[in-house]
Amino acid sequence: MQIDAAAELRLYWSINDQLALNVLGARVTGSVTFDEALANALATIIKGSFPAALGALMPASTQLMTIGIRDLRTDNQAEFRDTQAPVAGTGVGDSMPAGDAICVTNRTALSGKSFTGRTYLSGWTEAQNGPDGTVALTAATQAVQFVDICKNALAGNGMAFAVLSRPSEEKIIVETTHHADGTTTLRTISHVKAKDGQATVVVASESRNAFWESQRRRDNGRGAAPTSLLARVRSSGGVISTPFAPPKRARPNAD
């Protein structure tokens, strides 16, 4: 996929021993070299801010594992990932299901579904679920703050947080009617014109309501193990890293 002046930031999580992924769009605004050093620079800010922003609201079974960055200005570019250690939550109490998420809406200056993005953050302690089953205000506030941290990390490295619109090819659906006399009639049912991809800068992020959203793919038990992300040996300098060992999945409470 190729989008002019675009990149994507990827956040890999381990939530209750289940892999979860957030993809945030970016618009390249400066002179940026996409490499492992850039991934580490982004990770220093994002992982470094995680304990204060989200750490106390998430249990130890929630870990921000890896930060990845990919250049989308040219097709088929490699993703670079940081080499820093994962950071884990320090919150006390049971974990909520990995599929329960707080939705942060990312607004641009334009309207329409192509110009609004959403970031779903999972892996909270049960204390973030209010007595009425809604999201605690503190959790919603910190979720928005964490997205802003990612925005600031991009801004400090020559990029602006953005909503990405994928390019699409022209599509024409035609109905053909074959008549008894041997003739045919053609009728256009749908005609969607080709569209270039674009990166539209985000102007504000917000939590719009107190309802939990569902990301069922994070809690179906069939996702890839988080350890699939970490190689023992990397080609860049032959760095040997200690394989990540996520916590064992806790047994459900009997009560």
Which strand (E) or helix (H) includes residue 118?
strand 116-122
Of 56-65, 77-86, 103-112, 217-226, the least confident: 217-226
Is residue 250 included in any domain, yes or no? Answer: no
Is residue 164 included in any domain, yes or no? Answer: yes
- Residues whose CB falls within 8 Å of the CB of residue 124, separated by 6 or more in sequence, listed in order: 57, 58, 62, 91, 95, 96, 100, 102, 139
Is residue 245 included in any domain, yes or no? Answer: no
Query: CA 223, 67, 20 angle in degrees (round to 5)?
Result: 20
Query: CA 55, 61, 67 angle in degrees (round to 5)?
Result: 65
Does 186 score more than 90 pLDDT? yes
131 burial type by CB count under 10 A (0-12 exposed, 13-18 middle, 19+ buried): exposed
Is residue 241 included in any domain, yes or no? Answer: no
Q: What is the mean pLDDT of residues 24-40?
A: 96
Task: Quickly state the pLDDT bin for 23 (edges 50, 70, 90).
Answer: very high
Structure-block tokens of residue 228:
């699939």
Query: CA 127, 133, 134 angle in degrees (round to 5)?
Result: 85
Is residue 253 included in any domain, yes or no? Answer: no
How do residues 36-92 score in pLDDT, each as one tens digit?
999 999 999 999 999 999 999 999 999 999 999 999 999 999 999 999 999 999 999
Is residue 89 included in any domain, yes or no? Answer: yes
Cα–Cα distance measured from residue 223 to residue 124, given in angstroms and rounded to the nearest whole number: 19
Average pLDDT, the chain: 87
Count of other CB atoms within 10 angstroms of residue 107: 17
Look at residue 255 in the predicted model and tell me its pLDDT.
40
Task: Quickly state the pLDDT bin for 247 (edges 50, 70, 90).
Answer: very low
Q: Within a 13 Å sphere around the CA of 56, how many CA atoms are in the beta-carbon half?
A: 5
Choose among 81, 86, 104: nearest CA to 13.
86
How do residues 115-174 score in pLDDT, each as one tens digit?
999 999 999 999 999 999 999 999 999 999 999 999 999 999 999 999 999 878 889 999
- Residues whose CB falls within 8 Å of the CB of residue 48, separated by 6 or more in sequence, listed in order: none
Is residue 23 included in any domain, yes or no? Answer: yes
Task: Quickly state the pLDDT bin for 193 (edges 50, 70, 90).
Answer: confident
Which strand (E) or helix (H) includes residue 214?
strand 213-214
Look at residue 152 in the predicted model and tell me its pLDDT.
97
Is residue 129 included in any domain, yes or no? Answer: yes
pTM for the full predicted model: 0.81
Does 208 score more than 50 pLDDT? yes
Look at residue 196 in the predicted model and tell me its pLDDT.
80
Q: Higher model confidence: residue 250 or residue 201?
A: 201
Task: Quickly state the pLDDT bin for 197 (edges 50, 70, 90).
Answer: confident
Total structural domains within the chain? 1
* Segments forming the whole domain that contains residue 102: 6-168+197-229
Cα–Cα distance measured from residue 115 to residue 25, given in angstroms and rounded to the nearest whole number: 11
